[in-house]
Structure 1
């Protein structure tokens, strides 16, 4: 036993005798190149005259407990960090939604929808222990509110291409983009009343370092489309999302066709 540890134990023994209260000493020892954590508990045993008659010392190997505690602390730090990021996103969405709406009713309607989009993605990320979410699961979750089934074969909404795990940050922002595209389609496009058409959603390899997300919407029965120049949804699609995922985007809404392409660096994929 090394002198610093011996001295620490001697001090604890002396204090246990003096005050009559249990003392705890934590220490580590190396064995075959591996560090082990121990906990020594020192109890003073007394007789009726209140004079110490002896000591009880127990030493426990608490390596596994300490490892679990370290993992829990790391997890809590990660949760705190991600919670702050999510709150920052929510705050930004609230401010920008308010800036681009004229009435409190319109603000509440749009903000609730965007908040639900973030919440749906957050549920997927949390269920994966913060690893991210499958691309197909993300698309299905975001389009579930439209009431149209997402299918792998031709239909109103067809999902094609790769199905990798998308990292948490990219998943949150891509989910927000999907929400804006789906909402716009319900209001003015292929999923809206009085219109028909089809939507193809895909994720494909653009090159060795990039993936490309594509939303391609064909619309029948629509001759006009509201201007997108000052809408927050357009800002999300063209600026917020690509900047947040270190990518680039193009958005071309036309009366009978909508095409959105988002380039995503491969390192944004989850593990």
Structure 2
């Protein structure tokens, strides 16, 4: 190789590793010839290429011989440094079908620039997806003919992979939002424009297709219920707001109907890159059923307390009456044990309320058995064989238990001379068949109507739970009477 001191080779100075390789290469057998003979346009491009840190390569002559710099070498992977001085089509044989037409266009005088082009490229024996941003610029000789092509290139494979990963993460996050059981939305800016709203949120507000619209247009009825002030407070103070058991009313704009909910919700401020609040994250959970369950639990607790008090009174009455009439302690113990077992059987019947249908006679006999007066002398049972569904059986057992408890504590069963008639059956009118139950007490203490109805009275007046019932309570001085009438078909399937 000629000495670098020759002025004609100054264009090869510098260039790092590729500069050294180009200078050390014997170009005498190359279609390009030795560097001393390279045309001025090629010499100028090589000098620019070697002095630049940006990835660049040159394809020159009909054979499209490649020259490249240090920045481009990593793109060649295991082709480097073999690719230097080789024809472009040979170097990039694995992707020539994709990139060849672009090179042909450059040699035809047509420049090309692409922000992102994808190649399936062979690197180290494996095919990998790669991405490049590049420009192919035709280079003319002194006769204004295209002599070659100059390329500035940048591999963006890692950037594209990162962008795809971010997009995938965003899609996963969006999918999580969409599948979340709670209602989720993002309100952007002081106008609270809906940027995100999952299906649960759309169902909650009974609207859809409102992304990009301000909250004042989408949920004016909710904002008027005080939520506008809460959003403003969160936006201005940067402090989140957590609401629990908040009542709201939602209006369906299509049907005009309103729905009442109990909601748990969070308003969480969101900040931009500068730390300024620019959105509010909203998460709402429907707590209506939970509050109903809590209310029902309170009722059940009240009922439990009532039942325990009544059971204590029943046990006390059983023990007292048994001891009063028993011949001796041994027989009294046997009678008490038997009656308490019968009382336990009545409770077992209530627990089994979710089972098969129950006989009305069995329900009544089980309720009255603890009092030991089922022989017709003090308690008389009259009725036909009727079976009712499990829910109705449970409700009827509670009613009978309440009536029996009151009779033992205050009514006909509280004295030996008292008498109780229980009759049941059906009556038929033009439209339906009705189940009728009549509880009639006589011979007991004078009866007064309660001044303040308690839980037991409310239970009796409610009739069969979940079924339309007609109930009469008569507190005549001669004895208490209870009458229950309800559609037979309803209690058979209930």
Length-normalised TM-score, structure 1: 0.52
1:118/1:176 contact within 8 Å kept = no
CA distance in structure 2 between the aligned counterparts of 1:225 and 1:97, rounded to whole angstroms: 25
Instruction: Pick from 433, 437, 440 the counterpart of residue 214 of structure 1.
Output: 437
In the alignment, what sits opposite 2:207? none
CA deviation after TM superposition for structure 1 residue 230, in Å = 1.9
Instruction: Pick from 380, 388, 394 the counterpart of residue 172 of structure 1.
Output: 394
Rate the CA distance shift 1:193–1:156 in 2: closer, same or farther, 3 A: closer
1:31-66: CA deviations, max 9, x gaps?
Answer: xxxxxxxxxxxxxxxxxxxxxxxxxxxxxxxxxxxx
In the alignment, what sits opposite 2:482? 260
In the alignment, what sits opposite 1:143? 368
CA distance in structure 1 between the aligned counterparts of 2:384 and 2:408, rounded to whole angstroms: 25
1:192-243: CA deviations, max 9, x gaps?
Answer: 135422323322325352323323323225234462642211110002x344
The root-mean-square deviation of aligned C-alpha atoms, in Å, is 3.3
1:92 aligns with 2:286: no
1:95-146: CA deviations, max 9, x gaps?
Answer: 2464xx7xxxxx7333677x965532334x56xxx33111111111111122
Rate the CA distance shift 1:224–1:135 in 2: closer, same or farther, 3 A: closer
Instruction: Pick from 411, 420, 440 the counterpart of residue 189 of structure 1.
Output: 411
In the alignment, what sits opposite 2:454? 231
1:118/1:172 contact within 8 Å kept = no
1:200/1:215 contact within 8 Å kept = yes
2:471/2:484 contact within 8 Å kept = yes
In the alignment, what sits opposite 1:202? 424
In the alignment, what sits opposite 1:121? 350
1:131 aligns with 2:356: yes
Rate the CA distance shift 1:219–1:192 in 2: closer, same or farther, 3 A: same
CA distance in structure 2 between the aligned counterparts of 1:167 and 1:221, rounded to whole angstroms: 34
2:470/2:484 contact within 8 Å kept = yes
Runs of 4+ in 1 over 4 A off after TM superposition: 88-91, 115-118
1:214/1:259 contact within 8 Å kept = no
Other structure's SS at 2:414 match: coil
Task: Give unmatched runs, 5+ long, in structure 1.
Answer: 1-87, 102-106
Q: Which structure has more RCO (C-alpha within 8 Å, separation ≥ 6)?
A: 1
1:110 aligns with 2:310: yes
2:412/2:441 contact within 8 Å kept = yes
1:212/1:261 contact within 8 Å kept = no
Length-normalised TM-score, structure 2: 0.30
Q: How many residue pairs were aligned? A: 169
CA distance in structure 2 between the aligned counterparts of 1:259 and 1:218, rounded to whole angstroms: 6
Other structure's SS at 2:445 match: coil
